[in-house]
């Protein structure tokens, strides 16, 4: 869901433009078919024109449905992935206060991107230990914001960047989203915030090193 949402948000304009072009083509075909129907009295020719009209109507209806899905994904569904702040503490994944880890971390990252006040993390910070449900906080407020996401990479992800959450609305020194570390393999991870605009560009990501503590049995 998150990957599909990122694709739709990043290429939303291109998708809608493509749908609009296709809609214009089939609208033109619909007008042609209706015009031909009004002029021809012959049964067989009317059947052909009626078939073209119905096909154009079916395609136009499908395009409306697809456009609605794109709108719902961008405006309603994706914000629910991040969700509003909650006050209840999960029973099996309690929220804990991060504390510094010991020195000598095995992961080295470039945290210079965190110096950008428009795309930075305030929680977690480098050296934090995270167990259970965790609230990610910071700022994602660049011009023409398309979306932001926070990801981890480490031994538990085979070196790949794994997306934990995504948002589409600007956030200034507030909650960016949540994730549950309980299902992740314990260990050190690079944690980063990526913020992109409508053109797919963005500042260097804010990257910190954290330790995830699994609560899985």
Give the start-to-end residue ranges of the domains of the chain.
2-82, 112-213
Sheet bearing 133-140, strands edge to edge:
119-123, 133-140, 171-180
Q: Is the pTM of this model over 0.85?
A: no
Question: Please, where are the H alpha helices in 40-169?
Answer: 43-72, 78-82
Distances (CA, A) of 10 to 74, 87, 154: 10, 32, 26
* Segment 183-213, tens digit of pLDDT: 788 889 999 999 999 988 999 999 999 999 8
* Pairwise CA distance, residues 48 & 44, whole Å: 6
Reading the block at residue 187, the tokens are: 């260990």
- The better pLDDT of the pair 205, 31 is held by 205
What DSSP designation does 157 have? G
* Pairwise CA distance, residues 80 & 192, whole Å: 21
- Please state, as a whole number, how many other Cβ atoms lie within 10 Å of the Cβ of residue 31: 12
* Segment 118-143, tens digit of pLDDT: 999 999 999 999 988 899 999 999 99
- The better pLDDT of the pair 6, 186 is held by 186
Task: Report pLDDT for 118.
Answer: 95
Spatial contact of 136 and 179, defined as CB atoms under 8 Å apart:
yes
What CATH topology corresponds to 112-213? Immunoglobulin-like (2.60.40)
Whether the predicted pLDDT of 12 surpasses 50: yes
* Confidence tier at 216 by pLDDT (50, 70, 90): low
- The better pLDDT of the pair 195, 60 is held by 195
E strands, 55-170, are 119-123, 129-131, 133-140, 145-154, 162-167
* Segment 44-58, tens digit of pLDDT: 776 777 788 888 888
Backbone torsions φ then ψ of 93, nearest 5 degrees:
-135, 75
Best-predicted range by mean pLDDT among 84-98, 133-147, 152-166, 203-217? 133-147
């Amino acid at each position: 869901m998150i990957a599909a949402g990122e694709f739709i948000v990043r290429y939303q304009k291109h998708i809608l433009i493509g749908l609009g072009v296709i809609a214009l083509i089939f609208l033109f075909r619909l007008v042609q078919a209706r015009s031909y129907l009004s002029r021809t009295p012959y049964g067989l020719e009317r059947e052909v024109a009626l078939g073209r009209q119905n096909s154009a109507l079916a395609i136009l209806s499908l395009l409306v449905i697809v456009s609605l899905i794109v709108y719902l994904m961008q405006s309603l569904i994706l914000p629910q992935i991040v969700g509003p702040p909650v006050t209840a503490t999960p029973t099996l994944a309690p929220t804990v206060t991060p504390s510094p880890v010991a020195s000598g971390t095995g992961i080295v990252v470039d945290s210079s991107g965190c110096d950008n006040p428009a795309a930075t993390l305030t929680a977690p910070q480098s050296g934090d230990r995270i167990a259970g449900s965790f609230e990610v906080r910071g700022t994602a407020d660049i011009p023409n914001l398309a979306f932001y996401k926070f990801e981890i990479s480490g031994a538990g992800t085979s070196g790949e960047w794994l997306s934990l959450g995504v948002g589409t609305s600007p956030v200034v020194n507030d909650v960016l989203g949540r994730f549950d570390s309980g299902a992740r393999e314990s260990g050190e991870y690079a944690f980063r915030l990526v913020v992109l605009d409508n053109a797919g560009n963005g500042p260097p990501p804010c990257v910190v090193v954290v330790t995830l503590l699994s609560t899985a049995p």
